[in-house]
Structure 1
Amino acid sequence: MEEFAEWRALGRRHTHRGHQIFWRDGGGGPADTLLCVHGFPTASWDWHLLWPGLCARFARVIAPDMIGFGFSAKPRDYDYSIADQADIHENLLRAQGIGRVHLLAHDYGDTVAQELLARDADRRAAGDSSLVIESVCLLNGGLFPETHRARLVQRLLASPVGPLLSTLTTEGSFGRSLAAVFGPDTRPDADAQRQFWLLWCTRHGHRNAHKLLGYMAERRRHRERWVGALREAVVPLRLIDGVLDPVSGGHMAQRYRELIPNPDVVELPVGHYPQLEAPKETLAAFLEFHSARVAPNGIPSGDGVAGGES
């Protein structure tokens, strides 16, 4: 728990719509900025096992806790949306004077990354280079609403009983639900489970679960925009997928191959959290992606967006 406490102690604060957003800032590598976008229901802490390796590669690494998550504000009277979470990331980058960025995203963060990529395409079409996305690497997430196999608890939380169920969530029920999406041999230990729970329930965040889960309906509503952003991307893309994930595992990776031109997919024999279940392999696949397909200035190397199976 000492490392967990240090992660929080070293965090910085950014104000968004009057609310405090926690974020970590690191780096020291030779070049480029990396933005790490976490998933549901966890936080930027998800990246801690990759953090030293990421900081050794990139001059700047930024990882916020989105509003409603982790150590950031969790207001009850708030309109949580993917667009607003994308605003948080863009505003933070602009506040830091960053105009070019690579993305590494997971789960809920994949959807935020899709919206950021769609906005990047809009800016490019308008000749606006004020904020440029240079590459995108995605981990397990609901990229396609038709392949997202929501857990029963997620479906219940998104239903009319969601507000009540949110308040009744316990550490035990939360832990069992989260562990079920990990691979059978890579499930979190008791300390990790405790950390996940603290991230979720601090500031009574668990009471907002039903509101945050509105992203599932948003994915259906904005499918054309968000899937289109991947299909029409002009920057390098890679998917690193834990194929044992019951929510967005091998079946989602197969759909990715069907829909995305020249798909670049790396499959790992783990569950929903590759960065926690197989951190060495995930980091290696991510760094290889940047070495092989992304030049130092963010321009695709070799054959542009074309990729290949790894």
Structure 2
Amino acid sequence: MKLADWTAGGARVQLNGHRLFVRQDGDGRPVTLVHGFPTSSHDWAPTVPELVAAGHRVTTLDLLGFGQSDKPPRHRYSVHEQADLIEALWEHLGIGETALVAHDYGVSVAQELLARDPARITRTALLNGGLYADLHRPIPMQRLLHSRVGPLLARLTDEKRFTANLRSVLGRPVQDEVLHDMWTSVAHDNGHHLAPRLLRYIDDRRAHFHRWTGSLERYEGPLLFVWGPEDPVSGAHVLDRLRRRCPRADFTVLTGVGHYPQLEAPEETARALAAFLTDRTQGTAN
């Protein structure tokens, strides 16, 4: 589904003084999908139809500072505020218990939600993300954007540079049209200028390392990791620790896939998530 069609199927909802882009698809058991940095909920477009067909009410949103949601230019963005906004959205939509699926930046938001109220999260599925701050390996561009030169560099970023950096974390090719839509989502309302502010989530991960790793490792609900081992940021080196620290979890490891399983291997990822969310998980540890 193209970005324009995805956006047309959602609405902007006022929450905690901000307007967030939100979509609701399907009926049945609730599941909330949380996207990563620097893109948007459109990353989940290939996944949603499979989950709807499996009998789920799928909630997707653009986090504050991303996609079609508000992008206040001088805001101090934080993972905690993103979790506040998701809880406010659940209240607005009348969602109590829900399954939770998250990728990249979204896994930190998921960890904060698990730390707050793990009983509310019926099942958790996580895709490539910095679950352990000490294992996070940002690409050179992210390091620069997170440095003192970040604001200047962000303003010089264009689609060509963005696409080149995105391709560097992929293991399988992704269509040019998909990458263009990703850039369009990022650049909407000059969102690419916000990268240094949004990247403060790296500092949040360090500051809340024990709280967030503890929330993951103590979680008693069903847990699935859908992982691309070729990801240079959060790939096979993270899997090794997850296997040791989360021995009850299921793993679907996608050979040859990098940082974006839902875009590099959309059918395999959607099937794995649908099976897990409907209690039919068969983890494949490659």
Asked if TM exceeds 0.5, the reply is: yes
Q: 2:252 aligns with which of 266, 280, 295?
A: 266
Offset of residue 287 of structure 1 = 2.2
CA contact (8 A) 1:33 1:58 kept: no
CA contact (8 A) 1:68 1:75 kept: yes
Q: 2:75 aligns with which of 73, 78, 81?
A: 78
Kindly provide the amino acid, as one letter, of the partner of residue 45 in structure 2: H
Residue in structure 2 matched with residue 286 of structure 1 by the alignment = 273
Taking only aligned residues, the RMSD between alpha carbons, in angstroms, comes to 1.6
Distance in 2, Cα, partners of 1:211 & 1:58: 38
- Are 1:243 and 2:229 matched, yes or no? yes
Residue in structure 1 matched with residue 53 of structure 2 by the alignment = 56
SS in 2 for 1:45: helix
Residue in structure 2 matched with residue 7 of structure 1 by the alignment = 6
SS in 2 for 1:181: coil
Offset of residue 308 of structure 1 = 6.9
Structure showing greater radius of gyration is 1
- 1:80-99 pair list within 5 angstroms: 80-99=77-96
Kindly provide the amino acid, as one letter, of the partner of residue 266 in structure 2: P
Distance in 1, Cα, partners of 2:156 & 2:16: 29
CA contact (8 A) 1:23 1:62 kept: yes
Distance in 1, Cα, partners of 2:91 & 2:179: 34
Offset of residue 3 of structure 1 = 2.9
CA contact (8 A) 2:235 2:259 kept: yes
CA contact (8 A) 2:54 2:278 kept: no
Percent of aligned pairs sharing the same letter: 44
Taking a change above 3 Å as real, the CA distance of residues 234 and 102 of structure 1, as seen in their structure-2 partners, is same
Taking a change above 3 Å as real, the CA distance of residues 109 and 283 of structure 1, as seen in their structure-2 partners, is same
SS in 2 for 1:246: coil
SS in 2 for 1:193: helix
Offset of residue 262 of structure 1 = 2.3
Residue in structure 2 matched with residue 211 of structure 1 by the alignment = 197
Q: 2:115 aligns with which of 107, 118, 124?
A: 118
Offset of residue 63 of structure 1 = 0.2
Q: 2:208 aligns with which of 222, 230, 255?
A: 222
Distance in 2, Cα, partners of 1:17 & 1:90: 10
Residue in structure 1 matched with residue 150 of structure 2 by the alignment = 162
Residue in structure 2 matched with residue 201 of structure 1 by the alignment = 187
TM-score by length of 1: 0.88
Residue in structure 2 matched with residue 141 of structure 1 by the alignment = 129
Taking a change above 3 Å as real, the CA distance of residues 263 and 60 of structure 1, as seen in their structure-2 partners, is closer
Structure 1 segments of 4+ aligned residues over 3 angstroms from their partners? 291-294, 307-310
Offset of residue 83 of structure 1 = 0.4
Offset of residue 293 of structure 1 = 6.5
CA contact (8 A) 1:262 1:308 kept: no
Q: Which ranges of structure 2 fall in alignment gaps of 5 or more residues?
A: none
Kindly provide the amino acid, as one letter, of the partner of residue 6 in structure 2: W
SS in 1 for 2:2: helix
- 1:97-112 pair list within 5 angstroms: 97-112=94-109
- Count of residues in correspondence between the two structures: 284
CA contact (8 A) 2:173 2:264 kept: yes
TM-score by length of 2: 0.95
Distance in 2, Cα, partners of 1:147 & 1:258: 14
